[in-house]
Protein backbone atom coordinates (compact mmCIF):
# COMPACT_ATOMS: atom_id res chain seq x y z
CA UNK A 1 0.00 0.00 0.00
CA UNK A 2 1.58 3.34 -1.03
CA UNK A 3 1.99 6.31 1.31
CA UNK A 4 -0.72 8.36 -0.46
CA UNK A 5 -3.33 5.63 0.07
CA UNK A 6 -2.31 5.22 3.72
CA UNK A 7 -2.66 8.98 4.25
CA UNK A 8 -6.14 9.04 2.68
CA UNK A 9 -7.35 6.12 4.81
CA UNK A 10 -5.92 7.71 7.94
CA UNK A 11 -7.68 10.99 7.18
CA UNK A 12 -11.03 9.26 6.64
CA UNK A 13 -10.67 7.36 9.89
CA UNK A 14 -9.83 10.58 11.73
CA UNK A 15 -12.89 12.34 10.30
CA UNK A 16 -15.12 9.45 11.32
CA UNK A 17 -13.74 9.57 14.87
CA UNK A 18 -14.24 13.32 15.17
CA UNK A 19 -17.78 13.00 13.81
CA UNK A 20 -18.63 10.28 16.30
CA UNK A 21 -17.26 12.32 19.20
CA UNK A 22 -19.34 15.30 18.09
CA UNK A 23 -22.48 13.17 17.99
CA UNK A 24 -22.74 13.43 14.21
CA UNK A 25 -24.33 10.52 12.33
CA UNK A 26 -21.99 8.77 9.94
CA UNK A 27 -22.73 8.29 6.24
CA UNK A 28 -24.00 4.75 6.80
CA UNK A 29 -26.50 5.98 9.41
CA UNK A 30 -27.75 8.70 7.08
CA UNK A 31 -28.11 6.21 4.25
CA UNK A 32 -29.97 3.83 6.55
CA UNK A 33 -32.41 6.54 7.63
CA UNK A 34 -33.02 7.57 4.02
CA UNK A 35 -33.67 3.96 3.05
CA UNK A 36 -36.11 3.58 5.96
CA UNK A 37 -37.99 6.73 4.88
CA UNK A 38 -38.34 5.37 1.37
CA UNK A 39 -39.89 2.20 2.72
CA UNK A 40 -42.32 4.07 4.99
CA UNK A 41 -43.22 7.12 2.89
CA UNK A 42 -44.16 7.78 -0.71
CA UNK A 43 -43.67 11.03 -2.61
CA UNK A 44 -45.94 12.00 -5.48
CA UNK A 45 -45.55 14.91 -7.90
CA UNK A 46 -49.32 15.20 -8.38
CA UNK A 47 -51.02 15.87 -5.07
CA UNK A 48 -53.56 17.96 -3.18
CA UNK A 49 -52.44 21.63 -2.86
CA UNK A 50 -53.24 21.43 0.86
CA UNK A 51 -50.71 18.61 1.25
CA UNK A 52 -46.92 18.32 1.10
CA UNK A 53 -46.90 15.57 -1.55
CA UNK A 54 -45.73 13.00 0.98
CA UNK A 55 -47.92 9.99 1.71
CA UNK A 56 -48.00 7.69 4.73
CA UNK A 57 -50.03 4.49 4.63
CA UNK A 58 -52.04 5.90 1.74
CA UNK A 59 -52.78 9.25 3.43
CA UNK A 60 -51.32 12.53 2.20
CA UNK A 61 -49.77 14.61 4.97
CA UNK A 62 -51.24 18.11 5.34
CA UNK A 63 -49.32 21.37 5.54
CA UNK A 64 -48.52 22.57 9.06
CA UNK A 65 -50.57 25.50 10.29
CA UNK A 66 -48.03 28.23 11.01
CA UNK A 67 -47.81 30.44 14.07
CA UNK A 68 -49.24 33.28 11.99
CA UNK A 69 -52.64 31.62 12.48
CA UNK A 70 -52.39 31.63 16.29
CA UNK A 71 -55.54 33.76 16.54
CA UNK A 72 -57.52 30.93 14.94
CA UNK A 73 -56.53 28.66 17.85
CA UNK A 74 -57.86 31.22 20.33
CA UNK A 75 -61.07 32.07 18.45
CA UNK A 76 -64.10 32.88 20.56
CA UNK A 77 -66.38 30.13 19.22
CA UNK A 78 -63.86 27.31 19.73
CA UNK A 79 -65.37 26.47 23.10
CA UNK A 80 -68.72 25.84 21.39
CA UNK A 81 -67.37 23.77 18.47
CA UNK A 82 -64.61 21.78 20.21
CA UNK A 83 -65.94 21.56 23.79
CA UNK A 84 -62.52 21.76 25.49
CA UNK A 85 -63.94 21.23 28.98
CA UNK A 86 -65.58 17.98 27.84
CA UNK A 87 -62.33 16.88 26.18
CA UNK A 88 -60.42 17.39 29.43
CA UNK A 89 -63.14 15.63 31.43
CA UNK A 90 -63.14 12.63 29.08
CA UNK A 91 -59.35 12.35 29.40
CA UNK A 92 -59.92 11.25 33.02
CA UNK A 93 -56.70 12.78 34.29
CA UNK A 94 -55.63 12.36 37.89
CA UNK A 95 -54.14 15.24 39.93
CA UNK A 96 -50.75 13.47 40.04
CA UNK A 97 -50.59 12.69 36.31
CA UNK A 98 -47.97 13.88 33.86
CA UNK A 99 -49.68 14.94 30.65
CA UNK A 100 -48.36 16.10 27.29
CA UNK A 101 -49.99 18.43 24.80
CA UNK A 102 -48.41 17.50 21.46
CA UNK A 103 -48.63 20.28 18.88
CA UNK A 104 -49.65 22.54 21.74
CA UNK A 105 -49.90 25.69 19.63
CA UNK A 106 -50.99 28.55 21.89
CA UNK A 107 -51.60 26.22 24.83
CA UNK A 108 -55.37 26.19 24.43
CA UNK A 109 -55.57 22.70 25.96
CA UNK A 110 -52.29 22.88 27.90
CA UNK A 111 -53.55 25.30 30.52
CA UNK A 112 -56.87 23.52 30.87
CA UNK A 113 -54.98 20.33 31.67
CA UNK A 114 -52.65 22.13 34.05
CA UNK A 115 -55.62 23.05 36.24
CA UNK A 116 -56.45 19.34 36.63
CA UNK A 117 -52.99 17.83 37.19
CA UNK A 118 -52.30 20.12 40.14
CA UNK A 119 -49.70 17.78 41.64
CA UNK A 120 -48.28 16.71 38.28
CA UNK A 121 -47.17 18.58 35.19
CA UNK A 122 -48.04 19.27 31.57
CA UNK A 123 -45.45 19.21 28.80
CA UNK A 124 -46.38 21.66 26.04
CA UNK A 125 -44.63 20.38 22.90
CA UNK A 126 -44.42 22.30 19.63
CA UNK A 127 -41.93 22.64 16.78
CA UNK A 128 -42.47 26.40 16.39
CA UNK A 129 -40.57 28.62 18.87
CA UNK A 130 -43.13 31.38 18.30
CA UNK A 131 -45.89 29.15 19.68
CA UNK A 132 -43.79 28.31 22.73
CA UNK A 133 -43.14 32.01 23.33
CA UNK A 134 -46.90 32.54 23.43
CA UNK A 135 -47.22 29.69 25.94
CA UNK A 136 -44.42 31.05 28.13
CA UNK A 137 -46.09 34.46 28.25
CA UNK A 138 -49.43 32.91 29.18
CA UNK A 139 -47.71 30.69 31.74
CA UNK A 140 -46.38 33.77 33.52
CA UNK A 141 -49.77 35.48 33.41
CA UNK A 142 -51.58 32.45 34.84
CA UNK A 143 -48.73 31.46 37.20
CA UNK A 144 -49.01 27.94 35.79
CA UNK A 145 -45.80 26.58 37.28
CA UNK A 146 -46.61 22.99 36.33
CA UNK A 147 -46.38 23.73 32.59
CA UNK A 148 -43.08 22.86 30.89
CA UNK A 149 -42.41 24.01 27.31
CA UNK A 150 -40.55 21.62 25.00
CA UNK A 151 -39.23 22.53 21.55
CA UNK A 152 -39.61 19.33 19.56
CA UNK A 153 -38.50 18.47 16.05
CA UNK A 154 -40.44 17.13 13.08
CA UNK A 155 -39.44 13.61 14.11
CA UNK A 156 -39.09 13.70 17.91
CA UNK A 157 -41.13 15.20 20.76
CA UNK A 158 -38.00 15.21 22.93
CA UNK A 159 -39.82 14.05 26.05
CA UNK A 160 -38.20 11.95 28.80
CA UNK A 161 -38.73 8.22 28.36
CA UNK A 162 -41.58 6.52 30.25
CA UNK A 163 -42.77 9.63 32.09
CA UNK A 164 -46.11 10.52 30.46
CA UNK A 165 -49.48 9.19 31.62
CA UNK A 166 -51.55 10.77 28.84
CA UNK A 167 -50.58 12.49 25.58
CA UNK A 168 -53.16 14.67 23.83
CA UNK A 169 -53.04 15.39 20.09
CA UNK A 170 -55.75 17.84 19.01
CA UNK A 171 -56.00 18.45 15.24
CA UNK A 172 -52.23 18.00 15.02
CA UNK A 173 -51.34 14.45 14.01
CA UNK A 174 -52.43 14.78 10.36
CA UNK A 175 -49.80 17.54 9.95
CA UNK A 176 -46.83 15.53 11.25
CA UNK A 177 -44.18 15.46 8.51
CA UNK A 178 -42.76 12.25 10.00
CA UNK A 179 -45.76 10.58 11.64
CA UNK A 180 -44.07 7.20 12.21
CA UNK A 181 -41.02 8.71 13.92
CA UNK A 182 -43.10 11.19 15.93
CA UNK A 183 -45.41 8.50 17.22
CA UNK A 184 -42.48 6.23 18.04
CA UNK A 185 -41.01 9.03 20.16
CA UNK A 186 -44.38 9.61 21.85
CA UNK A 187 -44.70 5.90 22.62
CA UNK A 188 -41.22 5.95 24.19
CA UNK A 189 -42.32 8.84 26.41
CA UNK A 190 -45.38 6.98 27.70
CA UNK A 191 -45.37 4.99 30.88
CA UNK A 192 -46.47 1.35 30.50
CA UNK A 193 -50.25 1.58 30.18
CA UNK A 194 -50.00 5.28 29.25
CA UNK A 195 -52.58 6.66 26.84
CA UNK A 196 -52.69 8.66 23.62
CA UNK A 197 -55.84 10.70 23.01
CA UNK A 198 -56.23 11.73 19.38
CA UNK A 199 -58.82 14.35 18.44
CA UNK A 200 -59.38 14.78 14.70
CA UNK A 201 -62.12 16.22 12.50
CA UNK A 202 -64.28 13.42 11.14
CA UNK A 203 -63.00 12.37 7.72
CA UNK A 204 -66.07 10.19 7.14
CA UNK A 205 -68.38 13.23 7.24
CA UNK A 206 -68.37 15.46 4.12
CA UNK A 207 -70.51 17.99 5.98
CA UNK A 208 -67.71 18.85 8.42
CA UNK A 209 -66.50 22.18 6.94
CA UNK A 210 -62.78 21.42 7.12
CA UNK A 211 -60.39 20.80 4.23
CA UNK A 212 -60.12 17.11 3.34
CA UNK A 213 -56.47 16.66 4.35
CA UNK A 214 -57.15 18.20 7.75
CA UNK A 215 -59.64 15.45 8.61
CA UNK A 216 -59.11 11.76 9.39
CA UNK A 217 -61.29 8.68 9.45
CA UNK A 218 -61.23 6.42 12.48
CA UNK A 219 -60.12 3.51 10.30
CA UNK A 220 -57.08 5.39 9.01
CA UNK A 221 -56.19 6.75 12.44
CA UNK A 222 -56.35 3.30 14.03
CA UNK A 223 -54.24 1.80 11.24
CA UNK A 224 -51.47 4.35 11.73
CA UNK A 225 -51.44 4.09 15.53
CA UNK A 226 -51.35 0.29 15.36
CA UNK A 227 -48.17 0.62 13.27
CA UNK A 228 -46.31 1.89 16.36
CA UNK A 229 -47.83 -0.69 18.70
CA UNK A 230 -50.59 1.39 20.28
CA UNK A 231 -53.75 -0.50 21.22
CA UNK A 232 -57.10 1.06 20.36
CA UNK A 233 -59.34 1.31 23.43
CA UNK A 234 -62.36 3.37 22.40
CA UNK A 235 -63.75 6.02 20.08
CA UNK A 236 -66.16 8.62 21.41
CA UNK A 237 -68.19 10.98 19.25
CA UNK A 238 -69.47 13.44 21.84
CA UNK A 239 -67.87 16.32 19.93
CA UNK A 240 -69.89 18.15 17.25
CA UNK A 241 -67.35 17.63 14.45
CA UNK A 242 -64.47 15.55 15.78
CA UNK A 243 -63.57 12.03 16.86
CA UNK A 244 -62.10 11.45 20.32
CA UNK A 245 -59.98 8.30 19.99
CA UNK A 246 -58.15 6.63 22.88
CA UNK A 247 -55.15 4.31 22.51
CA UNK A 248 -52.97 2.64 25.12
CA UNK A 249 -49.36 1.54 25.36
CA UNK A 250 -49.11 -2.11 26.28
CA UNK A 251 -47.82 -3.12 29.70
CA UNK A 252 -44.73 -5.37 29.92
DSSP of 32-53: HHHHHHHHHEEE-SS--TTEEE
- Reduced to 3 states (helix: H, G, I; strand: E, B; else coil), residue 171 is coil
Rounded Cα gap, residues 126 and 132, in angstroms: 7
User: What is the per-residue pLDDT for 75?
Assistant: 87
Q: What is the pLDDT of residue 27?
A: 53
186 inside domain:
yes
Question: Do 179 and 117 reside in the same domain of the chain?
Answer: yes
Query: Is 146 found in the same domain as 206?
Result: yes
| Residue 4 structural domain | 1-39
Q: How far apart are CA 182 and CA 165, in angstroms?
A: 17
CATH value at residue 82: 3.40.50.150
Do 239 and 150 fall into the same domain?
yes
In a shared domain, residues 138 and 98: yes
Q: Are 162 and 204 in contact (CB under 8 A)?
A: no
* Residue-level pLDDT at 74: 82
Q: Which long-range contacts (CB under 8 A, 24 or more apart) does 225-228 make?
A: 225/183, 225/196, 225/198, 227/57, 227/180, 227/183, 228/180, 228/183, 228/184, 228/187
> Both 76 and 114 in a single domain?
yes
* Tally of domains in the chain: 2
Which positions of the chain have pLDDT values less than 70? 1-36
Q: What pLDDT was estimated at residue 57?
A: 97
Tell me whether residue 56 is in a domain.
no
Q: Are residues 146 and 77 in the same domain?
A: yes
Amino acid sequence: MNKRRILILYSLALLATVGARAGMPDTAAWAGQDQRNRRIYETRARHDPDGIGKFYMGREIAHVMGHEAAEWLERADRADTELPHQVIKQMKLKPTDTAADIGAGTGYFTFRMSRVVTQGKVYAVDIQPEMLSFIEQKKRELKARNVVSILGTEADVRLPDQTVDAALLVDAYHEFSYPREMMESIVRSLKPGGRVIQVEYRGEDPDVPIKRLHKMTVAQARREMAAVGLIWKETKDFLPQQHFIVYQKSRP
